[in-house]
Amino acid sequence: MAHPPELRTQALHCLLLTDPAAKTAAVAALAQAWHAGACTLATDTVLAEPADIPGRPSRPALVPPRLLGRRSMATVEGRAMLVHALAHIEFNAVNLALDAVWRFGGMPAAYYADWLRVAAEEAAHFALLAAHLRTLGYEYGDFPGHDSLWEMVAKTSGDALARMALVPRTMEARGLDAIPPLRAKLAQAGDVEAARILDILLRDEVGHVEIGNRWYFYLCAGSGLEPCATYDALTVQYKAPVLKGPFNVDARRRAGFTEAELARFERDPIAGGRLSHACD
């Protein structure tokens, strides 16, 4: 009799897949198997890191963010460039969630269930955006993308606390701020379907950032660390991006940011405001 699949091993397998359609399908199947009780979980198993991580297609070409070009909402191509950029972020988010599942052993079972949920939802987001991109006459890979999100994933590969602090609650949380104005631009340009998809993204991203916040505070508590001071130190140690307003304070509140952090955001709500630390 075959042994049931092990969750973290299967997450690593999904992470290594290079074809986006195959990856999203495999993640959906893994999530279904987990919820059906058809997977085991070995939290303390140490898995060796493959050399070809993460699995990605040969396109899009990866370039510095400043070389991505302008995205005019007045043209189909400009709207497609924006949808493509969002699809690229979601594809990388699938990879980062899978990496959180397989890489960090010794966590409670709920941690792995949470990050598998994130991977499945990000995969669904990517599928929605890729399908909409096709209606605009383009495919994922037709425009370049940047690698900032995965660069921070790689930098924090040796520290679960730093990963939770600087990926979901720093870099992904920027989506909470960015999605509403992007949605407004797409809706104003008449792209009702893209606006609908962004509504789904914002709804789910609140939950994803909340998961990052929850496990960050869990790890801080387990090590006797003060969360705000620890976050400040980690942003310096890992050279995390400086945060700029405007900030979606309501969404950040629902995503589990502390009142001290929210007070910082509310004191600096306008575009151009800069926060080098989470709280004072």
Structure tokens at 224: 């006797």
Mean residue pLDDT of the chain comes to 92
Exposure of 231 by Cβ count < 10 A (0-12 exposed, 13-18 middle, 19+ buried)?
Answer: buried
pLDDT computed for residue 243 by the predictor? 83
Q: How far apart are CA 266 and CA 277, in angstroms?
A: 14
Number of Cβ within a 10 Å radius of residue 113: 16
Query: Is residue 32's pLDDT more than 50?
Result: yes
Query: Is residue 50's pLDDT more than 90?
Result: yes
What is the rounded average pLDDT of the residues 203-229?
97
pLDDT computed for residue 177 by the predictor? 95
Tens digit of pLDDT for each residue in 100-112?
999 999 999 999 9
Query: Is residue 204's pLDDT more than 70?
Result: yes
Q: Using DSSP bridges, classify how beta strands 243-244 and 274-275 pair: parallel, antiparallel or unpaired.
A: antiparallel
Structure tokens at 164: 């939770």
pLDDT computed for residue 279 by the predictor? 57
pTM: 0.93
48-54, long-range: CB < 8 A, 24+ apart: 49/103, 49/157, 50/12, 50/16, 52/16, 53/15, 53/16, 53/99, 54/15, 54/16, 54/95, 54/98, 54/99, 54/150
Tens digit of pLDDT for each residue in 230-277?
999 999 999 998 888 889 999 999 999 999 888 887 775 433 334 444
Number of Cβ within a 10 Å radius of residue 162: 23
What is the rounded average pLDDT of the residues 177-181?
95
Q: What is the 8-class DSSP label of residue 65?
A: G
For CA atoms 82, 84, 88, 91, give the dihedral sign. positive
Q: What is the 8-class DSSP label of residue 66?
A: G
pLDDT computed for residue 99 by the predictor? 98
pLDDT above 70 coverage of the chain, percent: 94
Among the ranges given (13-27, 186-200, 207-221, 232-246), the one the predictor scored with the smallest mean pLDDT: 232-246
